[in-house]
């Protein structure tokens, strides 16, 4: 049980800079996910924590100790690999026992034939077997202990990999995309199991994935990485509602957040031919990107969104996707190339027809504004409306 502190981690592979000065503080017992597109450096960062790769710059602290000079086995971390990395020629029991065997038995005791005759070996091995058995039972692997990995299903192998990590009782659990080799249904079940495991063990988990659903559903906090930098570090809901960067906003959320080009005006934004009552502190004429999540759009004519606080988009209905519980409405706006996708209840979408003009309205309070470089611009609170959520945890801690 320990906190993890990464200070100024930089790493290059040859001429390519993979990590730029990464600062990250992970609290004791926290479930932190490193998420981002391929190549963003999340796996490299994980391997640096494990000690499998070394940073060119910066240092890693586990608890109160700088572990940079320590080999992986002394850092008291356990890792679940994407491919599980189970020893194919060992049984499940042997796979899970190996970390304990390596730690608890001395060199002499580990000798192939002679070791077992030494005093203490039998007792130690019995204790190890008992612990392995307990962990195996907790994961539902009790009946599979004598099987070999080739005889197990994908989900079972994954649990063996988890078990091998758990017997160590490490300070930190590291997981490298552990669900990516499972089919969709198994992924959903295993997600819940891992989350529950974390609640039970209360150990620090560092979880790497490219799947934003996993990041959102399992984590205490999410660190979103793009191109070797942590762009935002925050709890999932904050990442969702209050992204610090356009890339964060676009990465999280299905369907993808809608973005429109706009320019700043004295009392709002000009979006196409419409004026949106969203105020930002920027010079008039500055080009910005304004983004609104699909679920906030409603047909304007319903009047649900107060006209004075409405962001309106006019266009033609291009496509309707009835999903049963909700309908996705694709609208081609008059002044934008990219479609706006709205998510609404089927009842509200009933009147819409493909090819017909439509106006969508969203509450101005839900508009997120980003400048040309992608950084989030705070909206100025209009005394007439509720205060905007202003909390932002900037990247870098």
Partner 1 sequence: MASAAAPAWAARSGGAAAAIGRMEALAGWTLAAPAITLMWLMLLGPAVAVIALSLTDWTFGAPTIAFVGLANYAELAGDRVFWTSLRNTLAYVAFTVPSAVFLGLGLALLVEAGSSLRGLYRTLFFLPVTSTLLAMALVFQFAFHPTAGLVNQTLGALGLPTTDWLKNPDTALYALGTIGIWQAVGLNMVLFMAGLKAIPKDLYEAAAIDGADGAWERFRRVTWPMLGPALVFVVTITAIRSFQVFDTVAVLTDGGPNKATSVLLYQMYQEGFSFLRSAYAAALTCVFLAFVLLLTWLQTRLLDRRAHYG
Q: Which residues bind partner 1 (CB under 8 A)?
A: 50-52, 71-73, 77-79, 81, 83, 85-90, 98-99, 102-103, 112, 148-151, 164, 168
DSSP 337: S
DSSP 367: -
Going by C-alpha positions, the residue among 53, 71, 395, 54 that lies closest to residue 244 is: 395
CB of residue 84 vs partner 1: minimum separation in angstroms?
Answer: 9
CB-nearer residue toward partner 1: 168 or 247: 168
CB-nearer residue toward partner 1: 159 or 164: 164
CB-nearer residue toward partner 1: 83 or 237: 83
CB of residue 6 vs partner 1: minimum separation in angstroms?
Answer: 18
CB of residue 361 vs partner 1: minimum separation in angstroms?
Answer: 52
CB-nearer residue toward partner 1: 92 or 340: 92
CB-nearer residue toward partner 1: 147 or 385: 147
Going by C-alpha positions, the residue among 282, 297, 319 that lies closest to residue 364 is: 297
Question: Angle at which helices 154-166 and 92-104 pack, to 10 degrees?
Answer: 20
CB of residue 95 vs partner 1: minimum separation in angstroms?
Answer: 9
Q: Which residues lie below 8 Å from residue 275, measured CB to CB, with a gap of 6+?
A: 265, 268, 269
Going by C-alpha positions, the residue among 349, 355, 272 that lies closest to residue 316 is: 355
CB of residue 102 vs partner 1: minimum separation in angstroms?
Answer: 3
The H or E element spanning position 173 is: strand 172-176
- Helical ranges in 175-259 per DSSP H: 184-201, 212-218, 236-241, 246-251
Q: Which residues lie below 8 Å from residue 126, measured CB to CB, with a gap of 6+?
A: none
DSSP 385: S
CB-nearer residue toward partner 1: 112 or 285: 112
Q: Alpha-carbon distance 267 to 279, whole Å?
A: 6
CB-nearer residue toward partner 1: 98 or 195: 98
CB of residue 344 vs partner 1: minimum separation in angstroms?
Answer: 46
User: Could you tell me the end-to-end alpha-carbon distance of the chain, in angstroms, rounded to an integer?
Assistant: 21
CB of residue 139 vs partner 1: minimum separation in angstroms?
Answer: 18
CB of residue 44 vs partner 1: minimum separation in angstroms?
Answer: 13
CB-nearer residue toward partner 1: 132 or 215: 132
Structural contact between residues 18 and 41, judged by C-beta atoms closer than 8 angstroms? yes
CB of residue 96 vs partner 1: minimum separation in angstroms?
Answer: 10
CB-nearer residue toward partner 1: 128 or 298: 128
Secondary structure (DSSP) of 15-48: TEEEEEEEEEEE-TT-EEEEE-STTSSHHHHHHH
Q: Is the peptide bond before 255 cis (omega within 30 degrees of 0)?
A: yes
């Amino acid at each position: 049980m320990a906190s993890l502190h990464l200070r100024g981690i930089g790493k290059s592979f040859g001429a390519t800079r993979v990590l730029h000065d990464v600062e990250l503080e992970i609290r004791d017992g926290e479930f932190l996910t490193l998420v981002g597109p391929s190549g963003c450096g999340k796996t490299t960062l994980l391997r640096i924590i494990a000690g499998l790769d070394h940073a060119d710059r910066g240092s890693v602290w586990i608890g109160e100790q700088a572990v940079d000079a320590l080999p992986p086995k002394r850092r008291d971390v356990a890792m679940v690999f994407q491919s599980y990395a189970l020893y194919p020629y060992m049984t499940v029991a042997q796979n899970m026992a190996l970390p304990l065997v390596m730690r608890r038995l001395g060199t002499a005791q580990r000798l192939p034939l002679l070791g077992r005759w030494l005093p203490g070996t039998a007792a130690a091995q019995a204790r190890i077997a008992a612990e392995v058995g307990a962990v195996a039972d907790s994961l539902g692997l009790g009946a599979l202990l004598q099987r070999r990995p080739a005889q197990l299903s994908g989900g079972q192998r994954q649990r063996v990999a988890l078990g091998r990590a758990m017997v160590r009782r490490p300070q930190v659990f590291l997981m490298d995309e552990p669900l990516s080799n499972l089919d969709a249904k198994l992924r959903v079940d295993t997600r819940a199991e891992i989350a529950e495991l974390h609640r039970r063990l209360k150990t620090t988990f560092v979880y790497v994935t490219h799947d934003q659903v996993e990041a959102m559903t399992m984590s205490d906090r999410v660190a979103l990485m793009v191109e070797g930098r942590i762009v935002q570090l925050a709890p999932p809901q904050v990442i969702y509602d209050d992204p610090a960067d356009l890339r964060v906003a676009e990465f999280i959320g299905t369907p993808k957040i809608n973005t429109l080009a706009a320019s700043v005006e004295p009392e709002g934004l000009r979006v196409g031919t419409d004026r949106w009552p969203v105020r930002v502190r920027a010079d008039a004429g500055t080009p910005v990107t304004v983004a609104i999540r699909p679920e906030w759009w409603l047909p304007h004519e319903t009047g649900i969104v107060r006209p004075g606080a409405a962001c309106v988009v006019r266009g033609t209905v291009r496509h309707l996707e009835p999903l049963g519980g909700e309908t996705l409405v694709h609208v081609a706006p008059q002044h934008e190339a990219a479609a706006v996708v709205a998510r609404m209840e089927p009842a509200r979408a009933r009147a819409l027809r493909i090819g017909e003009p439509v106006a969508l309205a969203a509450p101005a309070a839900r508009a997120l504004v980003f400048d040309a470089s992608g950084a989030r611009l705070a909206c100025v609170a209009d005394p007439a409306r509720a205060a905007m959520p202003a909390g932002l945890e900037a990247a870098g801690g």
